[in-house]
Chain A
């Protein structure tokens, strides 16, 4: 329980909300997390987009993505608040650290395999290239 967990939180705000309200809601969400001892890694306004199906008779929604780290308590609090806020049409929290760890593992396994392959000096160099490319992408 001591270890830090990473989460991605996506929530959809009512399309009728003005920019100021969107900002207010986003800041409120960030504050809840930081108040509970979590940290915000990234905030991304995905903007207004059409939803694949109607939610509360709305066809559009303003999507906001937050990336946060913490123990899990702040997520519980945030979800509780979002549940009662009717300006927020939908929210979803995904725990991403496990998936990322798994991705690392797969990457390592692939690297090992590439090394084992006989007479693959070229293949190895290529693999190293793509690995570097991936790293650069993640860094951006």
Chain B
């Protein structure tokens, strides 16, 4: 069951460091380094929907929004991010679904 979980996470191919910490743990699941919110570190107050490059890094191949359990983004910023991604989708800067 735990292998299944790991697989799902690695499918996103995000935050390599985190993956390394999370995977490869035989026996009891290793405690992983606490992730800190990238936006808080950079003191971001507003996430612009036109910043395609930034938003793309939070929408893996399928075009879904990366869950914060994986990216480590804080709740406040995840909300801003989600809003921005949805706006970008509306004007075709990001896909709703990519196959």
Contact = CB atoms under 8 A, between A and B. Distances in A.
B92 A61 contact: yes
A37 interface: no
A99 B89 contact: no
A117 to B, nearest CB: 15
B45 interface: yes
Nearest to B94: A52
A48 B46 CA distance: 26
Contacts of A134: 43
Contacts of B43: 107, 110, 130, 134
Contacts, number: 43
User: For the side of the interface on B, what is the size category?
Assistant: 10 to 19
A4 to B, nearest CB: 19
B63 to A, nearest CB: 8
A62 interface: no
User: For the side of the interface on A, what is the size category?
Assistant: 20 to 34
Interface in A93-133: 94, 99-100, 102-104, 106-107, 110, 130
A53 B50 CA distance: 16
A12 B46 contact: no
B50 A65 contact: yes
A90 interface: yes
Contact of B87 (A94, A100, A104, A107): A94
Interface string B85-97: 0010111111110
A73 interface: no
24 contacts: A12-B91, A12-B92, A46-B50, A51-B92, A52-B92, A52-B93, A52-B95, A52-B96, A53-B92, A53-B95, A55-B92, A90-B91, A91-B91, A92-B90, A94-B49, A94-B87, A99-B46, A100-B46, A102-B45, A102-B46, A103-B46, A104-B45, A107-B45, A130-B43
Interface of B: 43, 45-46, 49-50, 87, 89-96, 98
